[in-house]
Structure 1
Amino acid sequence: MNRDEDAAPVDMLASLFEARGWQYEFVSEDEITGEVQGAWANYQLQAIWRPEDHVLQILCLPDIRMTDEKRAAVYEVLTLINEQLWLGHFDVWSNGGVLLYRHGLMLGDEGLLSPSQAQVAIETAIEECDRFYPVFQFILWGDKTPAEALASAMVDAVGEA
């Protein structure tokens, strides 16, 4: 496949993963999963194509599990974080308390994904997980309040630039 042309979403993402040297596998013809090294951790990336809706769902899982005693604080910080996001949102799977970033792309009647769309969608997922990973760690391991965790992570991120 020519990487400069639009393609079926899962095939385009496979080409992107391959070009970046990232491990991936096809779960089905409409689903791909891979692993990417982020700034703080390895992230599992999943993409699921729903041809009937022309929607590609991108999931990025930063391997953070919420504990029951921190549940309220995590949900509170999710609200604070999601207010700041232009694309996608953070969520928690109800089964297992797994934190994830999720974004859906509506691809139109043709159902094709361009190389730039693929790159932006995947890079945004990784960047947002990197940007907010410390916030969740401050709550889960540092016993900070949601507001303190968010403020601390944003100060640290500004200081690293």
Structure 2
Amino acid sequence: MGTVNAITATEDAAPVEMLAALFEAHGWPFELTQENEIAGEIRGSWTTYQLRGVWRRDDHVLQLLCLPEVRVPQEKRVAVFELLAMVNEQLWLGHFDIWSNGGMLLYRHGLMLGDDGLLSLAQAKAAVEAAVAECDRFYPAFQFALWGDKEPAEALANAMVDAAGEA
């Protein structure tokens, strides 16, 4: 594996190496947790997200996981699963889910790479930005359902209201 600093915007690299270069370029904290896995943190609009990239070499798939550090208590699971279904209808890429072990909310997206298994800087940037954008977009809906005791449809409707300006 080459050095992270050696990657330029015009060349492709191994997926985990490219994600490390992207994180380093933005000054986001990260660590290479295994040979084919990276974990880092990115500050979003609502919270700091845990972002993981897992490279499955045999399948040529890079899986991105973005976790907003939201746990869904057992008594709220039915409502949040209903909300997940409505939220996922709004997505073009990826989906939200709840880990069965621990009840952690997450956004997950798999990128199928070519036979060479290389990722461009543009692909890495677009995938990471999309993951954070989707988490930011729907974070309020999950908060309304979990802590505001809103019904799923109401939580989603309230979260999708765009402000008419900035304060």
The residue number in structure 2 matching 1:87 is 93
How do 1:1-161 residues align onto structure 2 when only pairs under 5 Å count?
A: 1-4=6-9, 5-155=11-161, 157-159=162-164
* 8 Å CA contact 1:3, 1:12 repeated in 2: no
Listed as ranges, the gaps of 5+ residues in structure 1 are none
Mapped to 2, the partners of 1:11 and 1:99 lie a distance apart of 26
Deviation (angstroms), 1:28:
1.2
Q: Distance in 2 between matches of 1:109 and 1:160?
A: 46
Percent of aligned pairs sharing the same letter: 65
The 1:90–1:13 alpha-carbon spacing in structure 2 relative to 1, beyond 3 Å, is same
The aligned amino acid for 2:34 is S
TM-score, normalising length: structure 2: 0.93
> How large is the RMSD of aligned CA atoms in angstroms?
1.0
CA distance in 1, matches of 2:164, 2:111: 33
In structure 2, distance between residues paired with 1:118 and 1:160: 31
2:3 aligns to what? Answer: none
TM-score of the two chains, using structure 1 as the length reference: 0.97
Instruction: Structure 2 unaligned segments of length 5 or more: list them.
Output: 1-5
